[in-house]
Every structure is written in structure tokens, then in C-alpha cells.
Amino acid sequence: MLATLNDIYAAQARIQGVAVRTCLIEFEHAEANRRLFLKPENHQPIGAFKLRGAYNKIASLPEPDRKRGVITYSSGNHAQGVAYAARALGVKAVIVMPNNAPAIKREATAAMGAEIVLVGPGSDERKVKAEELAAQHGYVIVPPYNDKRIIAGQGTIGLEILEDLPDVEAVFSPVGGGGLISGVAAAIKLSKPSVKVIGVEPELAADAQASLRSGQIVQLPAEQVSKTIADGLRTQSVGSMNFEHIRQYVDDIITVSEDEISQAMKLLAANPETIAEPSGAVAAAGVLFHRDELPKTSLSVAIISGGNIEPSMLEEIRQGIATNASTASKS
């Protein structure tokens, strides 16, 4: 079932005062005739957009469900979103995380009081473990992306973009499991259908592009997607509900190389307000390095989905040292 505009407006009211209403920042490195604004979700209390959907989902649960506690599976940012929202609402949270998740994300999640369970690197592994624990203890599952309340929460980003830049012609969003682009695309297309919505994902984890072009969900091996530096986009496939939103509302999905992600991170890091983790820099990389594949628009927005980057990686990026994917996967 697709999220409606009413669902997204309801989410906007629900998260008000919890999630930050992030303001657009013009990117000075864009071409003069192709202005680019950034939507800095790195300004959220957890450093990423995931708080929007997580809070909307948990706040929507009936009181008996909240008392059972919630569980989710995530490589990091959704984990923090669930932990933050659960703490704010007085709900127990259990998070199943991959053992290769960045330490900065694991530690931040634990610091918010969540119980962490570590499993292997495959996105299917953590989902299976979460379902097993939910069945065993009665926890309510808060999926990272394949859920209408999650999608509606992320869609509030789209509403804010249109409110702040009504003349926007194209919006670029990173794609992992598909929750962010599903919500943003629904909000944009249901409000102003003429705006182009373009997804961007790493070449090493291009399952969403393959899915959109083949007309069916494509799943990639865990060992392949785990090679991308963009740890937040290492999902093996998009969710079924997300795929329906993508088919309905997304104009195209393009891919970027590991080097392009690193270059975009370096450019973004020049401004402390736009520091991006690898996943957060992917949309900007698509705009900066793939002009020939994009619609001929003059006013665009790229979403910085998060800024939770290891300090050592940020320093390497600032110094212009290309951080290879194998190093990132061990962090």
C-alpha cells in the first residue's frame, strides 16, 4: 500500500519538535547555471534523517505495543533513530546490527540506552535475527524502510523541500533499502508532479537501479554490497513496499563510483554544515559527476542523508586520501 499525502502530513505533525526542520544550504561548487541546494539531514539529533521515520512509527504504536518494546535491524543510522525515539517515548529498544557497522554508530546507539545484538554483515542476517528475537520476546518490529509509517516519516523531507524551494526542478536522494526515496518521491510527486525525483546509489550496490529497470526486485550478494564505502547503502535489495513507491514515483536511478563518493565527501567537508558520511554524499556525487545522465534542470536539491562519519575517515577525506572500501568495511 502506498503512502498518501495525508499520511505524510500526519507524520509531519507527529515529529514536530522532535526531528529538526533542516534548512536548505546552497552548494558553492555547483555550476553557475545549475544551482544546487543541499538538504542537510546531518543536522538531526542523531546525525541522520532516520529519526523522522523511526519516531513516526513508534509514536503511532498503541500503548500495549509500546509496553512490549521494539526491535529493529540496522547498520547504524536507523539504529540510532529507533534508539532515540524509543528513549524519548519511554520504550525498550533492541537493535540487531552487523559486526562491520562503524564504531561511531554502534557506540552512539548504545549510549542512548538500546540493547545491541551483533550478527554478520548480510542485511538478511540481521533481519532474520530480529524476527527471531521478536517472536521469542514479543517485541514489535520497527523495519528500517519497508513500512508505510517509516516511509511517511521520511517523506516529510520532501514536504520541507517544496515549502522552502517551490521552484525546485529536481530532487536527488540516496537509495539503500528505499525508505527515504519512497517517502520523498511520494511527497514530491503527489504535491508537484513536474519535479523530477532521481535516486543515486553506489555502483557496488546498484540493486535499486537494476530493480527499476528490470521491473522486479533484484537482490545482490552480501559480499558484493559490503564492498562499498557507503555503509548505510549496503542493503542487498529494496523493500517490496519501497519498490512499489519507486516504480510509481521515481523518474530514474543513477550510480556513482567509490572515487566519486570520496570526492563529493571532500567537497562537502569544506563547509562544517555539510559534512557527510559516505552514504550522505552519494546524492551530491550524482549531481556533480553525472550531468550527462541527468535532466536539464537549473534548480536542484540533493539530500545529505547523514553525517555520522568516523573522525579518521573524515581526516583522510579532507587530506585527499582516497579511502578504499575494504578499509571502510573493517571500521
Q: Quick: pLDDT tens for 299-329.
A: 999 999 999 888 888 888 888 754 444 344 3
As given in the structure block, the three cell numbers for residue 266 are: 571532500
247 and 231 both lie in a single domain: yes
136 and 198 both lie in a single domain: no
83 and 216 both lie in a single domain: no
Q: Quick: pLDDT tens for 154-206.
A: 999 999 999 999 999 999 999 999 999 999 999 999 999 999 999 999 999 99
**Structure confidence at residue 206 (pLDDT):** 97
Average pLDDT, the chain: 93
**Structure confidence at residue 327 (pLDDT):** 41
| Closest residue by Cα to residue 7 from 208, 245, 233 | 245
255 and 175 both lie in a single domain: yes
**In the predicted model, is pLDDT for residue 240 greater than 50?**
yes
**In the predicted model, is pLDDT for residue 217 greater than 90?**
yes
- Report helix, strand or coil for 293: helix
- Report helix, strand or coil for 224: helix
83 and 201 both lie in a single domain: no
Q: Quick: pLDDT tens for 107-164.
A: 989 999 999 999 998 778 889 999 999 999 999 999 999 999 999 999 999 999 999 9
Out of 141, 158, 178, pick the residue that ends a domain. 141
Range of the domain at 153: 5-48+147-330
Out of 126, 141, 156, pick the residue that ends a domain. 141
Mean pLDDT of 68-95: 94
Residue 231: pLDDT band (50, 70, 90) is: confident
**Structure confidence at residue 22 (pLDDT):** 98
12 and 66 both lie in a single domain: no
DSSP bridge pairs for 39: 303
Residue 265: pLDDT band (50, 70, 90) is: very high
**Structure confidence at residue 209 (pLDDT):** 97
As given in the structure block, the three cell numbers for residue 203 are: 555502483
233 and 127 both lie in a single domain: no
Out of 116, 141, 166, pick the residue that ends a domain. 141
* Side chain identity at residue 26, one-letter code: E
205 and 294 both lie in a single domain: yes
pTM reported for the whole predicted model: 0.92
